[in-house]
């Protein structure tokens, strides 16, 4: 089972390293201060949103949460009506030297929050008339993005993560401090496969955002770094912000150290090859200035009409869940509009939220994942508790009758793939442990571990309208899109702007493939071990194998290929372990191992199938016992399962792009 666990961890690491996440899938350590996160309803008067109250509230929550979660430090900035209401540092920017977090001077890696800078740059060029949101992006490029079934990608598709690209991981992150090639070279090096028609499916894409940044370069005539420094950082007053990698010398000493655990060792500076998607380094104070600009109808960055277009153009693919604006995603709460973007690397975890109508923004960043990735729950509950405290609202839901609710829950049962996924490379095999399962609880309601509670338990779902569920006693919603009496996709409020879940085809469903793989590997391992064991036993007791020469040869070949298949799968396991241990190895350091595995895998799997067929012929045409006949069938079925998985999940294939 360790193979399953390591692949699951690897899948989670890939997603967490590059995807903005705002769900509370990890558990906050026990005994969190209830008063700090308790809900406030509209019937209770909201306290005034003033510095003294916010500071007292933060002091009652964050120091304890960071300490209990073994998280190093954090910065929080709250802005209101065009001014900084409060900006606070908590914990340490560097644990060993006990350097405190300073909101003005401590720099945090922003991960995918960086995308908001890119989308702001795009809207500036839309305002200037140099980019048309609905024109084929090939009109702005010096290379070609292939159409999908004759349909081109537009800038609007890129800004709403509906360009249809599969995920890309190779070379995305590295600890190597050497400068990256120009953005255009990186973008052209590998164009991800298109797996969805444009405009139809939310599938978060780092590549799509960086492609948009390259278009900004092309239409403005300026390198991306120069452009954002001149047209975004300077007018917004962001004096301690940079996309440059490595950082300028004047900023390097200000960067917070990044940790997995605050009690652990710091990691090297994380480099990002698709910098416009995840390479921003900035102080909390600078992110506050960025929020103020957007909340001030664009401020010095864009005209009010352009800001309104960016904030209010909503693509909602699974109503009534949150939708995707042009670059921002909705995180509406308590009946109020809220726009957001999150960013997670291995060590840095950031998110900002805007309440456009209230002219209020809140930003948080942490420099450690913490115990059980507690950074996610800490920031999610910060936002929810902030909204409950200062912008309370009553929740009024309907209810679907019990019989209908049970029927709809049964329709949801199945195994689902994420729409943001690796489709054409060997990393597709992560689906064997990464697919989402929906089942029924003992009351006939929905059961899924997709988004657990703060205590790590599955949420209890109540259907409030047809195919729309809300967690019992909470605010999270889950909704499904149904066509012709069949669920075709579903999502959650926290992910629906940029990610959905679609039924896995039966031939790729982990519901049967994962146990079949485990049983097959177990049978092959026993076969490989029994071969020398039986030989030693025969030698010990002087018994000769009573087999014809051809049958003896097929016997040995089958056992040899069984051992080779087990060795190959162990090789894939060790390869995955190395990728998990050091994400910089995704840059090509293990290509030799990958190519070796790609050569050995078809030899092993096809060899096992051929030898198993030959062996079953000899076993069933000779006077072999029932167990020998049964085991020959087990070996043949194991060979078929491995070949099925090898072909279907690209373990059989060649190429180092992923």
Give 344-407 as a DSSP string. E-SS-EEEEEEETTTTEEEEEEESB--GGGTHHHHHHHHHHHHHHHHS----------HHHHHH
Task: Tell me what pLDDT residue 358 has.
Answer: 97
- What's the token pair of residue 438? 């929906």
Q: Please name the residues in contact with 182: beta carbons below 8 A apart, sequence gap of 6 or more.
A: 223
pLDDT higher than threshold 60 for residue 406 = yes
619 against 99, higher pLDDT: 99
pLDDT higher than threshold 60 for residue 226 = yes
Task: Tell me what pLDDT residue 126 has.
Answer: 98
Mean pLDDT score, 52-70: 96
Q: Which residues of 13-49 are buried (b: 16+ CB within 10 A; e: fewer)?
A: ebbbbbbbbbbbbbbbbeebeeebbebbeeeeeeeeb
Mean pLDDT score, 26-40: 34
The C-alpha atoms of residue 32 and residue 414 are separated, in whole angstroms, by: 34
CA nearest neighbour of 190 among 646, 649, 588, 595: 588
Q: What's the angle, vertex CA 272, arms to CA 269 and CA 276, rounded to 5?
A: 125
Q: Is 254 helix (H, G, I), strand (E, B) or coil?
A: coil
Q: What DSSP state is assigned to residue 424?
A: S
Ramachandran region, residue 297 (left: φ > 0; alpha: ψ -120 to 50; beta: rest): left
The C-alpha atoms of residue 66 and residue 365 are separated, in whole angstroms, by: 12
The C-alpha atoms of residue 260 and residue 347 are separated, in whole angstroms, by: 6
pLDDT higher than threshold 80 for residue 501 = yes
Answer yes or no: pTM beyond 0.75.
Answer: yes
By percentage, how much of the chain surpasses pLDDT 70? Answer: 88
What is the per-residue pLDDT across 113-148, written as a single tens digit (0 to 9) for each?
999 999 999 999 999 999 999 999 999 999 999 999
- What's the token pair of residue 247? 């950082």
Task: Tell me what pLDDT residue 577 has.
Answer: 80
Q: How many helices (H) and strands (E) does the chain have?
A: 21, 20
* Residue 462 parent element (H or E): strand 461-465
Q: Which residues of 67-78 are buried (b: 16+ CB within 10 A; e: fewer)?
A: ebbbbbbbbbbb
Q: What DSSP state is assigned to residue 467?
A: T
Q: Give the chain's length.
A: 658
Neighbours of 312 (CB within 10 A): 12
| Beta partners for residue 281, in sequence order | 109, 242
Task: Tell me what pLDDT residue 619 has.
Answer: 83
CA nearest neighbour of 650 among 426, 422, 435: 426
Range of 110-119, 170-179, 589-598 with top mean pLDDT: 110-119
Segment among 63-77, 94-108, 171-185 with least mean pLDDT: 171-185
| Beta partners for residue 415, in sequence order | 437
pLDDT higher than threshold 80 for residue 533 = no
pLDDT higher than threshold 60 for residue 254 = yes
Q: Please name the residues in contact with 284: beta carbons below 8 A apart, sequence gap of 6 or more.
A: 75, 76, 77, 87, 89, 103, 104, 106, 108, 363, 365
Q: CA dist 103 to 78, 86, 308, 366, 381, Å?
A: 11, 10, 29, 12, 21
What is the radius of gyration, based on Cα positions, of the chain? 27
- What's the token pair of residue 603? 């030899």
Task: Tell me what pLDDT residue 40 has.
Answer: 39
The C-alpha atoms of residue 595 and residue 121 are separated, in whole angstroms, by: 40
SS3 for 27-72, per residue? CCCCCCCHHHHCCCCCCCCCCCCCHHHHHHHHHCCHHHHHHHCCCC
- Residues 219, 313, 383, 9, CA torsion sign: negative
The C-alpha atoms of residue 339 and residue 147 are separated, in whole angstroms, by: 31
Task: Tell me what pLDDT residue 407 has.
Answer: 96
pLDDT grade for 39, boundaries at 50, 70 and 90: very low
Q: Between the CA atoms of 50, 53, 58 and 59, what dihedral angle is there, to the nearest 10 degrees? A: 140
Task: Tell me what pLDDT residue 11 has.
Answer: 42
The C-alpha atoms of residue 454 and residue 384 are separated, in whole angstroms, by: 12
Residue 257 and residue 367 in contact, taking contact as beta carbons nearer than 8 Å: yes
Q: What DSSP state is assigned to residue 149?
A: T
Q: Is 277 helix (H, G, I), strand (E, B) or coil?
A: helix
Q: Which residues of 113-127 are buried (b: 16+ CB within 10 A; e: fewer)?
A: bbbbbbbbbbbbbbb
Residue 470 and residue 461 in contact, taking contact as beta carbons nearer than 8 Å: yes
| Beta partners for residue 479, in sequence order | 468, 491
Ramachandran region, residue 546 (left: φ > 0; alpha: ψ -120 to 50; beta: rest): beta
CA nearest neighbour of 652 among 583, 598, 609: 598
Q: Between the CA atoms of 594, 596, 598 and 601, what dihedral angle is there, to the nearest 10 degrees? A: -130
pLDDT grade for 584, boundaries at 50, 70 and 90: low
The C-alpha atoms of residue 329 and residue 498 are separated, in whole angstroms, by: 8
605 alpha carbon, distance to own chain's centre: 31
Task: Tell me what pLDDT residue 324 has.
Answer: 97
* Strands 271-272 and 173-174, bridge-based pairing: antiparallel
pLDDT higher than threshold 50 for residue 22 = no
What is the per-residue pLDDT across 326-378, written as a single tens digit (0 to 9) for each?
999 999 999 999 999 999 998 999 999 999 999 999 999 999 999 988 898 89
Residue 143 and residue 188 in contact, taking contact as beta carbons nearer than 8 Å: yes
Task: Tell me what pLDDT residue 179 has.
Answer: 82
């Amino acid at each position: 089972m360790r193979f399953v666990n390591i692949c699951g961890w690897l899948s989670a690491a890939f997603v967490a390293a590059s995807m903005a996440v705002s769900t509370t899938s990890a558990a906050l350590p026990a005994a969190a201060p209830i008063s700090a996160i308790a809900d406030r309803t509209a019937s209770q008067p909201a306290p005034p949103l003033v510095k003294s109250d916010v500071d007292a509230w933060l002091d009652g929550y964050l120091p304890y949460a960071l300490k209990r979660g073994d998280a190093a430090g954090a910065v929080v900035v709250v802005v209101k009506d065009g001014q900084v209401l409060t900006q606070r540092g908590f914990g340490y920017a560097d644990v060993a030297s006990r350097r405190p977090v300073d909101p003005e001077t401590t720099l945090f890696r922003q991960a995918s929050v960086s995308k908001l800078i890119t989308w702001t740059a795009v809207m500036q060029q839309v305002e200037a008339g140099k980019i048309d949101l609905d024109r084929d992006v090939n009109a702005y490029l010096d290379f070609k993005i292939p159409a999908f079934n004759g349909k081109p990608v537009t800038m609007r598709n890129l800004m709403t993560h509906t360009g249809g690209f599969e995920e890309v991981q190779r070379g995305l992150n590295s600890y190597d401090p050497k400068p990256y090639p120009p953005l255009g070279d990186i973008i052209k090096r590998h164009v991800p496969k298109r797996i969805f028609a444009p405009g139809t499916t939310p599938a978060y894409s780092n590549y799509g955002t960086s492609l948009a940044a390259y278009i900004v370069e092309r239409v403005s005539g300026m390198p991306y770094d120069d452009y954002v420094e001149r047209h975004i950082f300077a007018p917004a007053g962001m004096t301690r912000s940079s996309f440059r990698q490595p950082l300028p010398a004047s900023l390097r000493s200000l960067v917070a150290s990044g940790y997995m655990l605050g009690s652990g060792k710091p990691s090297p500076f994380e480099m990002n090859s698709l910098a416009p998607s995840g390479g921003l380094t900035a102080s909390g104070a600078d992110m506050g200035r960025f929020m103020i600009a957007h909340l001030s109808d664009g401020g010095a960055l864009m005209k009010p009409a352009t800001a309104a277009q960016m904030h209010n153009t909503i693509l909602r693919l699974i109503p009534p869940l949150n939708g995707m604006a042009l670059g921002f995603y909705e995180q509406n709460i308590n009946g109020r509009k809220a726009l957001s973007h999150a960013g997670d690397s291995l060590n840095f975890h950031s998110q900002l939220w805007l309440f456009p109508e209230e002219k209020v923004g809140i930003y948080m960043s942490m420099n450690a994942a913490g115990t059980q990735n507690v950074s996610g729950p800490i920031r999610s509950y910060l936002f929810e508790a902030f909204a409950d405290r200062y912008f309370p609202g009553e929740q009024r839901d309907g209810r679907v009758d019990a019989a209908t609710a049970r029927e709809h829950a049964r329709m949801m049962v199945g195994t689902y793939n994420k729409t943001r996924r690796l489709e054409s490379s060997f990393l597709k095999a992560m689906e064997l442990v990464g697919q989402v399962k929906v089942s029924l609880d003992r009351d006939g309601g929905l059961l899924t571990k997709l988004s657990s509670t703060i205590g790590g338990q599955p949420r209890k779902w109540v259907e409030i309208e047809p195919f729309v569920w809300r967690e019992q006693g909470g605010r999270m919603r889950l909704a499904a899109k149904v066509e012709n009496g069949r669920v075709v996709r579903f999502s959650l409020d926290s992910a629906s702007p940029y990610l959905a879940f679609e039924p896995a085809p039966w031939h790729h469903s982990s519901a049967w493939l994962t146990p079949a793989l485990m049983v097959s590997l177990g049978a092959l391992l026993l076969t490989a071990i029994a071969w020398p064991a039986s030989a030693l036993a025969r030698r010990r007791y002087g018994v000769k194998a009573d087999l014809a020469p051809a049958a003896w040869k097929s016997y040995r070949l089958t056992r040899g290929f069984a051992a080779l298949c087990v060795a190959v799968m162990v090789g894939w396991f060790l390869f995955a372990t190395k990728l998990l241990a050091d994400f910089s190895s995704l840059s090509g350091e293990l290509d030799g191992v990958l190519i070796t595995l790609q050569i050995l895998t078809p030899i092993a799997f096809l060899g096992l199938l051929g030898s198993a067929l030959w062996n079953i012929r000899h076993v069933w045409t000779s006077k072999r016992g029932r167990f020998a006949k049964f085991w020959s069938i087990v070996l043949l079925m194991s060979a078929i399962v491995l070949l099925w998985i090898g072909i279907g999940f690209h373990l059989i294939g060649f190429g180092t792009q992923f």
